[in-house]
Amino acid sequence: MNHTMILSWVTFIYFVSFVLYLFRLITGKKFWGRAASFLVWAGLIAQTIALLLRWKTSYSMGIGHVPLANLYESMVFFSWSIVLIYLIIEWRTKNKIFGVFVIPTAFLAMAYASIAPDINNRIEPLIPALQSNWLTSHVVTCFMGYAAFAIAFGCSLIYLLKNKKKGDVEKPEGFSGKLPALATLDTLIYQSTTLGFVFLTIGIMTGSIWAHYAWGSYWSWDPKETWSLITWLIYAIMLHSRYVRGWRGKRMAILAIIGFACVLFTYLGVNYLPGLHSYLRT
Amino acid sequence: MLNNNFLWSFFSSVKLTITLLVLIVLVFIAATFLPSQDVFQTFAGQLSPGTAKIFFFFRLSDLYHSPLFYFLMTLLSLNLIICSINRFPILWRQYKAPHFPEPAGSFDNLPQSLIITEAKEISKIKLIVKSSLKKKYRSGKETDTERGSVFYAERGRFSLFGVYIIHLSILVMIAGAIIGSIFGFTADINIKEGETVNLANLTKGNGIKQLNFSVRCDKFIVEFYEDGTPKTYRSDLSFIKNGKVEKQGSLLVNHPLTFDNFRFYQSSYGAAPESKAIVTYTIAGKKGGSIGVAAGDTFDLPEGKARGFVMRIEENIMEMGPAVKLRIISPEKDIQFWVFQQLDKLLAMKPNLFSEAPMLNPGLFKPFVFSIDGVEHTYYTGLHIVRDPGIPLVALGGLLMIIGLIIVFFMSYQCIWVRIEQQDAKISISITGRSNRNNQQLQNKIDYLCRQIDQELKA
């Protein structure tokens, strides 16, 4: 079985586990939650194996490099990071409900990587600009950050959904009663945002060290650099408004959603603007 | 004075910080969508004169270097500095806060953090409490109050300064960037293979800089993968100072070279306008000689005192492959003709080629017959030269920021008080604490401490 086959199975597995998380949410039966996280673990292991296989394959093709070099590989890694961070949080909080909103992002990333017509999944050789030891640390830290923000985004969606249904009072009954408590969500949004913020900061820094060695300038105002800074500033505003002005709950959720929109634009939208990060275009 | 106070409170407000950050974000968004400097000229032509004026005035094509952006960054820096100064006394008081007595009400309403025991002597209990605290906390202190002995321990007091470290790191980075833009220098040079250059074009057409050393490109190599993707760009360079080669090295993308405080980067390459050809000739069927030439070169032919001029070198003329146009002058003759590399092929297609076009006959100057072994590009390598004295500061800023973030997000200042109180026959041990953030973590720590002391007592 080659890595492409495994990755299409992983896509399918993530979809099925999303459906199982949905069952868990609707029926309230714990069995579905356990089944869903079992599947997600299986998916993560399979995806890890697929990534390692792809890595090995590139070496047997004589153009060996870490599988983080084009849009397709970064998409697969994005989904891998989301699932990894999600499973760690699930394991620590013992809460299997917000998987309903997080696993779909991992599934969508995988589906987009395999279906989108302008993404090719061939293993390509590394152009000179990418032949650097900084490639791995830059991409890994950035995508860990993106993944943490994706989780904050998922939690924010649940928060707004739950908050919309009723005023300020939490009711234990009904559909929204089955969703995690607002306070839990608020903490999760905050914690995953701080995690993402630290990773994004390190990601921007490793990127700028790399740029220093590759382009001769640690900061070139390339659109991707600028947008990563915009994303960083949005989350900085979000954290400041929490620390200094005491913002909580709904406002934080809205900021986390705006922040994630910036993440997506930094990752995908910027590729349509001219700039130095052009190797991500198709 | 009033005016001063107004300015001070204006610059020390967090509302200003957030407003500035939002404005900076908007400037950035605009900057990424507005046409950049290099395409701006064509874009400006389509604008009305008035709009174009506004564009030039605000430097909208290069907002990152516009007065507007500099203004916002200046305000942000002032805001950061003044906020930091303003909040420092409060922070200092927190840092210097006395350990005793504990904050009022600390020991009221403690549900789990309370152990009551009858078994041990009070002096033994004190020892157990002390050693349990010592395991995880620093600077244990003890005092006797009217309600018993109180022990104090703490950790992470320096974490109060985490936010300061982050804010300082931003100022350090801004300072580094300013130093870099004032005292730094970037330039580009193109050097042909074999050529030595000591002039560099400053970036953005800011003139020409004379270097006090020269750079020679000994060789430029570009390699490709099987699928045609570029694999390596490599320039072999020699750095020459006072007529001596002081350093030689291979410059690759991602592997800059440093000489005399300048860093050299492989940034582009291209084919130089002239190509090189290897011209060989036979004399009456016997082997004659071989010369490497470029367009414009001259060469002497043995015997007959003839001189050759290389008039043109073509890599692929009229789809018929590489060719060289020669002019041979001797006292008797002055003739011009073409020498094709793929003459055999041409003759196979048109057997009577020479009678139709005598100029394509490489044997026109008898008894010499010329041929070429190939036409080669000469490349030029494009180097980017940088000197940026601000980099150490920017790097220091980055390091400080990482340290600050780790302190702010993953550490906290925790104070713990333990009171041992004799109540008739019983002794009660109460534990309480304070933290500057993350109270859940503090609660977990207190619970853990409780269990630990409890176990020790039972043992």
How high is the pLDDT of residue B355? 83
pTM of the model: 0.83
Which chain B residue shows the shortest CA-CA distance from A226?
B28
Which of B17, B186, B252 is opposite residue A240, by nearest beta carbon? B17
pLDDT above 70: percentage of residues in chain B: 92
Which DSSP symbol is given to A61?
T
Q: Which amino acid belongs to residue A120?
A: N
> What is the rounded CA–CA span in Å between residue B322 and residue B339?
9
- Taking one residue from A and the other from B, the number of pairs with CB-CB distance under 8 angstroms is 95
Q: Exposure string (b/e) for B299-321, b if CB count within 10 Å is 16 or more?
A: bebeeeebebbbebbbeebeebb
Taking contacts as CB-CB distances below 8 angstroms, the residues of chain A near B36 are 274
Q: Do residues B324 and B338 make contact, with C-beta atoms less than 8 angstroms apart?
A: yes
- Using CA atoms, how far residue B359 sits from B277, B335, B375, in Å, is 19, 9, 20
pLDDT of residue A115: 84
Regarding an ipTM greater than 0.90, the answer is no
pLDDT at B221: 87
Interface of B with A in 228-257 (CB under 8 A): 229-233, 252-256
Mean pLDDT along residues B428-449: 81
pLDDT band at B1 (very low <50, low <70, confident <90, very high): very low
Check whether A257 has a pLDDT greater than 90: yes
- Rounded Cα distance, A137 and A213, in Å: 14
Query: In this structure, are residues A129 and A279 in contact, taking their beta carbons and an 8 Å threshold?
Result: yes
> Is B91 within 8 Å of chain A by CB?
no
Q: Which residue has the higher pLDDT, B418 or B55?
A: B418
Q: What burial letters (b/e) apply to B433-448, b meaning 16+ CB within 10 Å?
A: bbbbeeeeebeebbee
Spatial contact of B97 and B48, defined as CB atoms under 8 Å apart: no
CA of A133: which chain B residue's CA is closest?
Answer: B254
pLDDT, tens only, A88-101: 988 988 888 888 88
User: Nearest CA to CA, how far is A20 from chain B (Å)?
Assistant: 32
- Using 50, 70 and 90 to split pLDDT, how confident is the model at B123? confident
Q: Answer yes or no: do B32 and A205 touch at CB < 8 A.
A: no
| Mean pLDDT score, B202-228 | 84
DSSP A249: T
Residues of chain B with Cβ-Cβ distance to A124 below 8 Å are: 227, 229
pLDDT at B112: 52
Average pLDDT over residues B28-35: 85
Chain A neighbours among B 301-340 (CB < 8 Å)? Answer: none
Q: Per-residue confidence at B43, pLDDT binned at 50, 70, 90?
A: low
Q: Which residue of A128, A237, A273 is in closest CB contact with B32?
A: A273
Predicted pLDDT at B128:
80
Please check whether residue B20 touches A, CB under 8 A: no
For B284-312, write each residue's pLDDT tens digit.
888 888 887 877 788 888 766 788 888 88
Q: CA B114, CA B454: separation in Å to the nearest integer? A: 10
The answer to whether the Cβ–Cβ distance between A125 and B267 falls below 8 Å is no
pLDDT the model gives residue A116: 80
Mean pLDDT across A117-122: 79
Burial class (CB in 10 A: 0-12, 13-18, 19+), B339: buried
What would the pLDDT profile of A268-282 be if each residue is shown by its tens digit? 888 777 665 555 444
* Percent of chain A whose pLDDT exceeds 90: 48
Kindly identify which residue of chain B lies nearest to residue A232, measuring between CA atoms.
Answer: B25
Interface of B with A in 60-89 (CB under 8 A): 64
pLDDT score for B266:
92
Tokens at A55, concatenated: 């890595």
- pLDDT at res. A166: 55
Residue whose tokens read 């649940």: A158
Say if B225 is an interface residue toward chain A (CB within 8 Å): yes
Q: Which of the listed ranges A29-33, B75-79, B310-314, B361-365 does the model predict with the highest average pLDDT?
A: B75-79
Residue A12 — left, alpha, or beta (φ > 0 → left; ψ -120 to 50 → alpha)?
A: alpha
Predicted confidence at residue A134, as pLDDT, reads 92
Average pLDDT, chain A: 87
pLDDT digits (tens, 9 = 90+) for B70-116: 999 999 999 999 988 988 898 888 888 877 777 777 777 665 556 66
pLDDT band at B270 (very low <50, low <70, confident <90, very high): confident
* CB-closest option in A208, A212, A221 to B64: A221
Distance in Å, alpha carbon of B186 to nearest chain A alpha carbon? 9
Calculate how close chain B gets to A154, using CA atoms only, in Å.
22
Residue B122 has pLDDT above 80, yes or no: no
Q: Note the pLDDT of residue A281.
A: 46
Interchain pair B32, A124: CB under 8 A: no
Q: Give the per-residue pLDDT at A104.
A: 92
Q: Using CA atoms in the order B188, B192, B196, B201, what is the torsion angle rounded to 10 degrees? A: -20
Question: Residue A186, SS3?
Answer: helix
Spatial distance between the Cα atoms of B337 and B312, rounded to a whole number of angstroms: 11
Q: Of A105, A65, A113, A62, which is closest to residue A86 (Cα–Cα)?
A: A105
Coil, helix or strand for A175? helix
Give A181's pLDDT tier (boundaries 50, 70, 90): confident
> Residue A205 and residue B256: Cβ atoms within 8 Å?
no
Chain B hits for A232, Cβ within 8 Å: none
| Residue A168, burial from CB neighbour count under 10 angstroms (0-12, 13-18, 19+) | exposed
Q: Hey, what's the torsion of the CAs at B409, A134, A51, A42, to 10 degrees?
A: -10
pLDDT of residue A282: 40
Whether the Cβ atoms of residue B283 and residue B265 lie closer than 8 Å to each other: no
- Average confidence score pLDDT of chain B: 83
Q: Averaged over B271-283, what is the pLDDT?
A: 80
Per the CB < 8 A criterion, the answer to whether A213 and B255 are in contact is: yes
Give the pLDDT confidence score for residue A272 in this predicted structure. Answer: 74
Mutate to test the interface with B, among A70, A210, A213, A276 (most CBs of B within 10 A): A213
Chain A contact present for B202, CB below 8 A: no
pLDDT, greater one: A273 or B337: B337
CB of B261 less than 8 A from some CB of A: no
Are A198 and B263 an interchain contact pair (Cβ–Cβ within 8 Å)? Answer: no
Q: What is the 3-state secondary structure (H, E, C) of chain B?
A: CHHHHHHHHHHCCHHHHHHHHHHHHHHHHHHHHCCCHHHHHHHHHCCCHHHHHHHHHCCHHHHHHCHHHHHHHHHHHHHHHHHHHHHHHHHHHHHHCCCCCCCCCCCCCCCCCEEEECCCCHHHHHHHHHHHHHHHCEEEEEEEECCEEEEEEEECHHHHHHHHHHHHHHHHHHHHHHHHHHHCEEEEEEEECCCEEEEEEEHHHCCEEEEEEEEEEEEEEEEECCCCCEEEEEEEEEEEECCEEEEEEEEECCECEEECCEEEEEEEEEEEEEEEEEEEEEECCEEEEEEEEECCCEEECCCCCCEEEEEEEECCCCCCCCEEEEEEECCCCEEEEEEECCHHHHHHHCCCHHHHCHHHCCCCCCCEEEEEEEEEEEEEEEEEEEECCCHHHHHHHHHHHHHHHHHHHHCCCEEEEEEEEEECCEEEEEEEEEECCCHHHHHHHHHHHHHHHHHHHHC
Tell me the pLDDT tens digit for each residue of B125-163. 788 888 888 877 776 788 877 777 888 888 888 888 998
The minimal CB distance from B18 to the residues A194, A205, A237 is found for A237
Strands B298-300 and B286-294: unpaired
Identify which of A20, A72, A13 has the alpha carbon closest to the alpha carbon of residue A47. Answer: A13
Residue B153 has a pLDDT of: 87
Mean pLDDT (whole number) for A44-61: 91
CA distance A92 to B160: 28
* B229–A125 C-beta distance less than 8 A: yes
The answer to whether B26 faces chain A, any CB pair under 8 Å, is no
pLDDT of B212 above 90: no
